[in-house]
Amino acid sequence: MKKKHLIQIIKTLCLALFIRGLFCLSPAWGEVRYFEFALRGYSDSENFIAATSNPATIAQVEAQLQAPEDQRRMHINGNIAAGNGGVNHCWGWHHVTNQWALAEMSMELCDGRPSHVEDDLDYWLNTVGGFCPWSSYALREVGKDSVAEGDVNNDNAVNLDDALVSLQIASGLDGPPCLSMFADVNGDDSIGIEEAIYILQVFVRILESSEP
């Protein structure tokens, strides 16, 4: 297929997706904020991310972040659910948004490491139901600038694979394990048609710029 024909096909697809998107209302962007947690004495491979829009929880985390790392004594405690929640790196679980807070003390049952949860998801999700790693502490706030716009599958590249994943999600199918909501391009806190259009437009620009 000639390059010009491919470009025209992609442009037509973008237009069709845009028109469809006009009739698919997305939820408004909320005041959800994202915080990365680390575990004392362990590598950053144990880091995880949790989301919240609860003002009280946000105030707790902000107060911890103002202190030096070695003085951040409060750990996360809250309910967890299956999947990475679109933000929790490539873990197969995540803290449920607005169902966690910081604590000074928690019961031992929910203490552990993120990798422990990952290794026995059924037990942690269906028996324990929560996660409260005592050695965890708020490391930093993270946001959309931590992932390139359009990098939906979180592989450090924006290409047609991301467009396909976006269309897959827009169709109601499950996304990849490492789905990143930070790749959202239009600020609606979701992945779908708009991201597919953006990625296809990027691809068209690349093709056009490579023409002789």
Same domain membership, residue 155 and residue 116 = no
Tell me how far apart the alpha carbons of residues 111 and 11 are, in angstroms, rounded to a whole number. 51
pLDDT in tens, the chain (212 residues): 555 555 555 555 554 544 444 334 333 334 889 999 999 999 999 999 999 999 999 999 999 999 999 999 999 999 999 998 888 988 999 999 999 999 999 999 999 999 999 999 999 999 999 999 999 999 999 986 666 677 777 777 777 887 887 888 777 777 777 777 777 777 676 777 787 887 777 777 766 676 65
H or E stretch including 136? Answer: strand 136-142
pLDDT, residue 80, reads 98
Same-domain pairing of 102 and 126: yes
Q: How many domains does the chain have?
A: 2
Taking the C-alpha atoms of residue 2 and residue 85, their distance in angstroms, rounded to an integer, is 40
Nearest Cα to 18, choosing from 158, 194, 152?
194
For residue 206, the domain's CATH number is: 1.10.1330.10
User: CA-to-CA distance for 156 and 204, rounded, in angstroms?
Assistant: 19
**C-alpha–C-alpha distance, residues 196 and 17, integer Å:** 8
| 133 & 55 share domain | yes
In degrees, rounded to 5, the angle at the alpha carbon of residue 24 between the alpha carbons of residues 170 and 205 is: 65
Tokens matching residue 62:
């902000």
Instruction: Write down the pLDDT at residue 112.
Output: 98
CB atoms under 10 Å from CB of 17, counted, come to 20
Do 57 and 152 share a domain, yes or no?
Answer: no
Residue with tokens 């990952």: 118
Closest by alpha carbon to 91, among 79, 99, 82?
82
Structure confidence at residue 172 (pLDDT): 78
pLDDT at position 57: 96
